[in-house]
């Protein structure tokens, strides 16, 4: 009986591992599948340091959007703003 229970535990662990992988891949595809574009610059302090958001406010040349990389006011790291080509829908942010 113990051998059967040990086999059942191994099967359960494998199933859990497979389900975890499917969930992670699904979440990555959802995150990379669509990029949200803000219509206006976010308020200072609202974008975490290193976080990237895109703003399509019409101030960059055609086909480009603003890429905002968050800074940190407390440590003196400035927010970075640059116009970049509009990222493809399937590209990682």
The pLDDT score that the predictor gives to residue 76 is 94
Chain centroid offset of residue 17 CA: 23
- State the average pLDDT over residues 13-37: 54
The pLDDT score that the predictor gives to residue 15 is 45
Q: How many CB atoms lie within 10 A of CB 74?
A: 8
Model confidence at 10: pLDDT above 50 = yes
Strand 37-38 relative to strand 52-55, pairing: parallel
Is the pTM higher than 0.85? The answer reads no
Model confidence at 75: pLDDT above 60 = yes
Chain centroid offset of residue 64 CA: 20
Q: Return the H-helix or E-strand segment holding 81.
A: strand 80-85
């Amino acid at each position: 009986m113990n051998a059967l229970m040990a086999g059942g535990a191994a099967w359960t662990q494998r199933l859990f591992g497979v389900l975890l992988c499917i969930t992670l891949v699904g979440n990555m595809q959802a995150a990379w599948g669509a990029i949200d574009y803000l219509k206006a610059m976010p308020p200072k302090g609202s974008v975490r340091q290193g976080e990237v958001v895109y703003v399509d406010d019409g101030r960059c040349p055609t086909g480009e959007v603003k890429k905002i990389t968050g800074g940190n006011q407390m440590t003196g790291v400035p927010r970075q703003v640059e116009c970049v080509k509009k990222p493809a829908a399937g590209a990682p942010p």
